Chains A and B, each alone.
Chain A
Amino acid sequence: MAHDAQVAALPPLKEVVADFAADKQAFQVPWGKAMMWIFLLSDTFIFSCFLTAYMNVRMSTMVDWPNPSQVFALHMFGQDIPMVLIAIMTFVLITSSGTMALAVNYGYRRDRRRTVLFLCATAALGATFVGMQVFEWTKLIMEGVRPWENPWGAAQFGSSFFMITGFHGCHVTAGVIYLLITAKRVSSGFYDRKGSYETVEVAGLYWHFVDLVWVFIFAFFYLW
Chain B
Amino acid sequence: MSQAQAQAQAQATEGHQQHPLSIYLWIWVLLFVLSAFSYMVDFFHLEGMLRWTLILLFMTLKAGFIVAIFMHMAWERLALKLAILMPPLCLLVLIGFMAIEGDYTFITRGTAFLR
Contact = CB atoms under 8 A, between A and B. Distances in A.
Q: From DSSP, what is the main secondary structure of chain A's interface residues?
A: helix
A19 interface: yes
Contacts of B1: none
A157 B92 CA distance: 23
Contact of B109 (A4, A62, A97, A105): A62
Interface in A152-166: none
Given A20-B79, A105-B21, A105-B24, A224 B52 contact: yes
Contacts of B43: 82-83
Nearest to A102: B24
A34 B80 contact: yes
A15 B24 contact: no
A152 to B, nearest CB: 17
A124 interface: no
A198 B42 contact: no
A108 B16 contact: yes
Interface in B62-115: 62-63, 66-67, 69-72, 76-80, 82-84, 87-88, 91, 94-95, 98-99, 101-103, 105-106, 109-110, 113-114
Interface in A88-103: 90-91, 94, 97-98, 100-102
Given A52-B94, A208-B70, A101 B28 contact: yes
Contacts of A209: 71
B38 A219 contact: yes
Contacts of A100: 70
Which of under 10, 10 to 19, 20 to 34, or 35 or more describes the interface residues of A? 35 or more
B34 to A, nearest CB: 9
B55 A223 contact: yes
22 contacts: A8-B6, A19-B77, A26-B83, A27-B77, A27-B83, A28-B12, A29-B15, A45-B88, A48-B94, A52-B94, A59-B105, A62-B114, A87-B35, A90-B39, A98-B31, A101-B69, A104-B17, A105-B21, A109-B18, A211-B70, A216-B63, A223-B41
Closest 8 CB pairs of A and B: A59-B102, A60-B105, A219-B59, A98-B28, A19-B79, A56-B102, A60-B102, A101-B24
Given A62-B106, A212-B71, 5 more contacts: A15-B79, A45-B88, A56-B105, A59-B99, A60-B103
Interface of A: 4, 8, 12-13, 15-16, 19-20, 26-30, 33-34, 37-38, 40-41, 44-45, 48-49, 52-53, 55-62, 69, 82-83, 87, 90-91, 94, 97-98, 100-102, 104-105, 108-109, 196, 198, 201, 204-205, 208-209, 211-212, 215-216, 218-219, 222-224
